[in-house]
Structure 1
Amino acid sequence: MRGVPGRPRPRSLHTRLVLIATVLATAAVLVCQATGLTLMRSWLIGQVDGRLADFRPPPPVYRDIAEGTAPDRRPPAHEILPSDFRVHFYDAEGRLLPHSLGSGGGEPRLARTIDVDRPVDGRPSTVPAADGDGDWRVAIEPGPGGMRAVVALPLDTVQDATARLLRFSLAVGAATAAGVMLLGSAAVRLGLRPLTRVEHTARSITGGALEQSVTDTSPDTEVGRLGIAFNTMLDQLRAALHRKDGTERRLRRFMADAGHELRTPLTSVQGFAELLLEEPHMSPARRREAHELIARNAGRMSRLVDSLFLLAKLGDAPTTEHGPVDLLSLAADGVSATAVRHPGRRVALAPLGTCGPGGGGELDVVEGSGDPHQLAQVLSNLLDNACTHTPPDTPLQVRVGSLRVGPRTGGADRPGRTSVNPPLPHGAPAHVIEVADRGPGLAPQDARQVFDRFYRVPPASGVTCAGGSGLGLAIASTIAEAHGGRLELDTGPGEGCTFRLLLPGDPS
């Protein structure tokens, strides 16, 4: 992305880290050098001040100057004072006298007159040189007869030492900046290598390599935690893409199955309608048969469309009513309705655990929560399926009770158990209605698909299957999940089928 005109171009993280490290390291070195330079200069000036405090002009000099017998010329330094001392005198009226002591080049710039009323404190001060750029350290000493003596020492040694140290500090700072920039660049590049790998992985994934993952996933480092978060995001992205692909495949399959299911009765209706139009003089019996076939296929299409509409409605608004439901009464009504629809079928109502998983107990009222009409539809679908796909002499049993969710009792996954609904929390209470038969059971490949839409189990031997839309169990599992429950199947070849509807129970 190009930068906005007028704004500085953003620098990379590598460049920013190197610049920050260089600035901080150079600033730290310069601060240390400046502190050392200040301390050393203060110490050297303190040494000069000590020398000034220890020096006193000889008393005979004041007498010679006062009597006018002091020579005007400056004597050699080896005869009177060290060469770096300078002593100038002021008379009692504050005028600078031409007499001075000391030898060598240079001298301090002193005032022609001074205030004689000002007390002498003896504290040194700094004054510029009379010629050149040097400085002098001077101290005023009182003398006899109101005279003043100004003792001075040059600061050339101090200034030379501080200048050398300053040049050394600047050189060290420059070397430090260059070293930190070179070595820091390599160190930062090495430290950012895991982040660079994350960047390369992200680019590969952007290019379509969704199977890649970040390898640096140590929870003890920032880049490792970033890698963990990045891999988690990738897993969620892959899962979302897989769900999207699966949804698209199921939608295409659903549309194809729905079209196939609707095409057969629609073709029959269209054929018999054209037959009635083409043969207006057909016999009344044949005409009645055509009308019956048209009505039968129209009813089949109507039931299929109603089932499809119910599935769509359950997806948008799972429950229309939600209140207490007496599951025992619901099961008793289902058993009674099945006995009317299938007079030769033996259907019994029993407590949970009589002949299957779960705990034993007496038949008692079990009150759940949900939409009674939808739950009755689930039970009706389960009983109709059992009657349709088992021989007529196969007994059915409807069991009602309560249990704690687990692999042995129900509500949790285990081998031989099939469900499209998620398992319930382990150990949670649940209310149960089971529909069990002693029929031929289902093979594992059929059990895995029994809840799919439009799937029909191949008829077992001795069973004349009228055939349905293949949506009953799909609708039942959708209703169960909409109630926060689960519809599952325990089966095996020759073991019969047990469909179990579980609804969340009261924790109390």
Structure 2
Amino acid sequence: MRTRLVLISTVLATVAVLASQAAGLAVMRSWLTGQIDHRLTRFGPPPRSLTDPARGSAPQGPERFAPEDALPSDYRVYFYGADGRLRPDSLGNGSSSPLLPAAASALTLRDGRPTTVPAGRGTSDWRVIARTGPDGLRVVVALPLDTVEGATSKLLWVGIGIGAAAAVGVGLLGSAAVRLGLRPLDRMERTALRITGGEADLSVTDTDPRTETGRLGIAFNTMLDQVRAALHRKDASEQRLRRFMADAGHELRTPLTSIQGFAELLVAHPRTPAARRREAHELIARNAERMSRLVDDLFLLAKLGYAPEAHRETVDLLSLAADGVAAAVVAHPGRDVRLAPLAGGGPDGSRSQDSLDVVETLGDPHQLAQVVANLLANACVHTPPGARVEVRVGSVRTGPATGGTDRAGRSSATGPLPPGVPACVVEIADDGPGLTPEAAQQVFERFYRGPATVPGGPEPRSGLGLSIASTIAEAHHGRLELDTRPGSGSVFRLLLPRSVGTEPAGPA
């Protein structure tokens, strides 16, 4: 690039110098020629030279002209007589002369208009002008162009010399200037080489927005930041994938080990009592069911992440919550699980329901039912036996008090919703011990599970329930979030876009 820049600048500078010299040469030649034309038009031959000797009115021989009739400098004057022939008695001396025809009929000159003619003798052209005298006499006055040609020739050689000097000077100085101007690019090149060599935290220092290289440096640093962010996301994704695979292997290893152990026991001891055999069969079936649930959950997560958007239909969240509460009461007898309206939750009175009303949204009813079931199972498994679980259904406008946006003590696996938009809400609240801030940040991760707090109760599941629920909420353009503090219970809140029915009253 340096060579091209220097070559282009040298060629342009040389062409500019030569063009200016050519223009100056043309102006100089035109001006000098104009000066000669001016001399020709103002010059008049001696009056006595206009007398035709054929009429006997002029003296002959060397005595014809007086000294005052002598011509100045290098003028030449030629006469064509009345017979149209060139007379031999021209005025002026010198070894050179213009090329003029012998007869006036061949003379193509117009009176009073200077014209250039070639030399008859000598090397330089001549500038001539014709006039018509008395009795048909024609007079041709000539001046040589040797001064014009000499001046233009010298100017031409001077121009060529200046052009050559300019080419050399521009080549040398241009090379130094280009090298100096491209120094920021050299620093960028060295920085890029160091980055490719492993120094990934480097950045370009030339970032002056007023210069092209500075703007290039800003764009380069922006690109580096984006690449670093992409690499960090890639590393984090790989770490999550490794952790996920390790957790999945661990979750599968436990039931597989149990199944293998009990199967080997039955094979190695065929005479095992019937009660022990029945117990082994039950444990094998239970662990097989656990593996089946885990595989189904993994398949559902993959399907939610890569499958196209499912068919949407109108879903009554109140009926869906009522069915979930009924199923939870059957699955967890003795637990206080109730259905309640979403009322009076915010200081600005933005929650709209004080009674159980139908709340409808668009979505997949089976997936939303699974979200409610997972949240209820999570609340029943991870709270003490005497803790109350309450399912609340209603509609709100999103905000810090009503949900959907971030605030202190609130966590979610997805980003916040726009504030002030209408949303349908299903809350699963309990008055259990709550979660620490560290646990609240991890609760939506795959395979995370807290200890079961029900003595002798069901074993905690695979730790995919909340991750599945959060993924389903995100697929419905909603959000699953958790409000909790140690000793204050937990509130899992499912917010979905309110696309059918009336909007809730009141500001967000």
TM-score, normalized by the shorter chain, greater than 0.5: yes
Contact 1:319-1:371 within 8 A present in 2 as well: no
1:27 aligns with 2:15: yes
1:224 aligns with 2:217: no
The residue aligned with 2:319 is 329
Contact 2:396-2:422 within 8 A present in 1 as well: yes
Query: Mean Cα displacement is larger for which, 194-203 or 123-132?
Result: 194-203
Structure 1, unmatched stretches of 5+, are 1-11
The residue aligned with 1:5 is none
Contact 2:315-2:365 within 8 A present in 1 as well: yes
1:183 aligns with 2:176: no
Please report how far the alpha carbon of residue 375 of structure 1 lies from its aligned counterpart in structure 2 after TM superposition.
0.6
1:308 aligns with 2:298: yes
Between the aligned partners of 1:326 and 1:466, the Cα distance in structure 2 is 32
Contact 1:91-1:97 within 8 A present in 2 as well: yes
Identical pairs, percent: 64
Please report how far the alpha carbon of residue 76 of structure 1 lies from its aligned counterpart in structure 2 after TM superposition.
10
After superposition, the C-alpha distances for 1:246-303 in whole angstroms (9 at most, x for unaligned) are 2222222222211211111111111111211222222221221111111111111111
Between the aligned partners of 2:107 and 2:307, the Cα distance in structure 1 is 107
The residue aligned with 1:456 is 449
After superposition, the C-alpha distances for 1:484-507 in whole angstroms (9 at most, x for unaligned) are 111111112112111111112339
Contact 1:124-1:137 within 8 A present in 2 as well: yes
Between the aligned partners of 2:142 and 2:434, the Cα distance in structure 1 is 120
Q: Secondary structure at the match of 1:96?
A: coil
Contact 2:109-2:130 within 8 A present in 1 as well: no
Q: Secondary structure at the match of 2:480?
A: strand
Query: Mean Cα displacement is larger for which, 340-349 or 50-59?
Result: 340-349
Contact 1:77-1:83 within 8 A present in 2 as well: no
Contact 2:381-2:453 within 8 A present in 1 as well: no
Between the aligned partners of 1:228 and 1:463, the Cα distance in structure 2 is 63
Contact 1:490-1:498 within 8 A present in 2 as well: yes
After superposition, the C-alpha distances for 1:26-73 in whole angstroms (9 at most, x for unaligned) are 322322222222122112111111111112222322336433733269
Name the Cα RMSD after superposition: 2.7
Between the aligned partners of 1:484 and 1:254, the Cα distance in structure 2 is 25
Counterpart selection for 1:445 from 394, 415, 438: 438
Query: Mean Cα displacement is larger for which, 29-38 or 474-483?
Result: 29-38
The residue aligned with 1:96 is 86
Contact 2:483-2:490 within 8 A present in 1 as well: yes
1:46 aligns with 2:34: yes
Query: Mean Cα displacement is larger for which, 161-170 or 210-219?
Result: 210-219
Contact 1:485-1:504 within 8 A present in 2 as well: yes
Between the aligned partners of 2:81 and 2:60, the Cα distance in structure 1 is 14
The residue aligned with 1:352 is 342
Contact 1:440-1:460 within 8 A present in 2 as well: no
After superposition, the C-alpha distances for 1:204-240 in whole angstroms (9 at most, x for unaligned) are 3333332222333444443333333333332332222
Structure 2, unmatched stretches of 5+, are 504-508
State TM-score, norm by structure 2.
Answer: 0.90
Between the aligned partners of 1:282 and 1:130, the Cα distance in structure 2 is 142
Between the aligned partners of 2:300 and 2:186, the Cα distance in structure 1 is 53
Structure 1 pair 120–454 and aligned structure 2 pair: CA distance change class (3 A)? closer
Query: Mean Cα displacement is larger for which, 230-239 or 110-119?
Result: 110-119
Counterpart selection for 2:307 from 292, 297, 317: 317
Structure 1 pair 393–365 and aligned structure 2 pair: CA distance change class (3 A)? same
Q: Secondary structure at the match of 2:37?
A: helix
Please report how far the alpha carbon of residue 128 of structure 1 lies from its aligned counterpart in structure 2 after TM superposition.
2.2
The residue aligned with 1:6 is none
Query: Mean Cα displacement is larger for which, 489-498 or 402-411?
Result: 402-411
Alignment-mate amino acid for residue 28 of structure 1: A
Q: How does 1:471-482 map to 2 (within 5 A)?
A: 471-482=464-475
State TM-score, norm by structure 1.
Answer: 0.90
Alignment-mate amino acid for residue 35 of structure 1: A
After superposition, the C-alpha distances for 1:317-368 in whole angstroms (9 at most, x for unaligned) are 2653311111122112212222222232222323334457883332322211
Between the aligned partners of 1:120 and 1:331, the Cα distance in structure 2 is 116
After superposition, the C-alpha distances for 1:178-220 in whole angstroms (9 at most, x for unaligned) are 3322333333333333333333333233333322223334444
The residue aligned with 2:6 is 18
Structure 1 pair 248–180 and aligned structure 2 pair: CA distance change class (3 A)? same
Structure 1 pair 158–76 and aligned structure 2 pair: CA distance change class (3 A)? farther
Residue correspondences, number: 496
